[in-house]
Amino acid sequence: MSSKRTPEDYVFHEKLGQGSYSTVFRAVERNNSARNYAVKVCSKKHIIQERKVKYVTIEKDLLNSLGRGGHPGIVQLFCTFHDAESLYFVLEYVSGGELLNLLRRTGPLPETWSRHLFAQLVDTVDYMHSNGVIHRDLKPENVLLSQEGRIVITDFGAACSIANTVQDRSASFVGTAEYVAPELLLYSQCGLGSDIWALGCILYQLTQGAPPFRGDNELRTFEQIVALDYKWRLPTIPQVVTLVQSILVLDPLLRPTSKQLKEDPWLASVKWNIKSTLWKGIWE
Ligand code: ADE
């Protein structure tokens, strides 16, 4: 795409999702309706009112560096533009909806499904972390599913690059209560380990149907998190229990890294390279 786009270049269809200062619509190009896009529309007024200008700028920069087809697990960004009221992100359309909705429909997933989805999440987070990016809001709502069962991580609106964490964006809670890491609640710290914590919560949720920490209100949820107060609801294979237990520890430095997760015995049967070759076939 060479010349700058405008909203008139697209026909907007149904709403796909809603954030605090943005709405995502399915859209097609006016001149070529064969391909769907997900266009995220951010209200300039809200962004300014809620002091999020820096966040959308970071989201754009990170997606430009990570989401240009560098990894199939990161939502692709095709272009951005703006008009008087809004900023627009033209993103890859992922047709299977949110992982959250799959979990709501099916409840706990069988082990093979959990492993398939978790392995892709680990592989994608490993790519992000290798590129110095912390997502900071990993949760089943931000994980989309393609028709062929591929996961795509979206919503980098809370993300930051490692270089900026300590000085810049560590002090405030930006995630979602159920998946927020204890170090953010206790010490206002947020690093790579905070994404790993969220992966542990997601793995628990894949196998149990609900996140490990969920109180009647946010405060109760936070209390459960810092007390590591969670219980297994369903019979679960010991390897998964051990893996989740190794992740859900208070000290982020004691959690496995994304590279160590790829070596976990429960994921021993995953063909990491074959899978990425398969993705290459689909994407290149
Ligand atoms: N909802 C939010 N982002 C989306 C995307 N990229 N594709 C489909 N649905 C979405």
As a whole number of Å, the end-to-end CA separation of the chain is 17
- Please give the model's pTM, rounded to 2 decimal places: 0.90
Question: Is 137 tagged catalytic?
Answer: yes
Backbone torsions φ then ψ of 66, nearest 5 degrees: -100, -35
Using the Cα atoms of residue 40, residue 44, residue 48 and residue 53 in order, give the sign of their dihedral. Answer: positive
Please tell me the predicted confidence (pLDDT) of residue 271: 86
Please tell me the predicted confidence (pLDDT) of residue 2: 55
Residue owning the nearest CA to atom 2 of ligand 1: 17
CB of 38 sitting under 6 A from ligand 1 = yes
**Catalytic hit among 126, 137, 155, 195:** 137
Taking the CA of residue 95 as reference, the ligand 1 atom at the shortest distance is 8
Ligand 1 midpoint to CA 171 (Å): 29
Please tell me the predicted confidence (pLDDT) of residue 130: 94
Nearest CA-CA partner of 211 in 221, 219, 223? 221
Please tell me the predicted confidence (pLDDT) of residue 43: 93
Beta strands 151-153 and 10-18 are unpaired
Ligand 1 midpoint to CA 164 (Å): 27
- Cα dist from 21 to 37, 51, 187, whole Å: 19, 11, 27
Ligand 1 midpoint to CA 16 (Å): 6
Q: List the chain residues with pLDDT less than 70.
A: 1-2, 164-175, 274-284
Please tell me the predicted confidence (pLDDT) of residue 163: 76
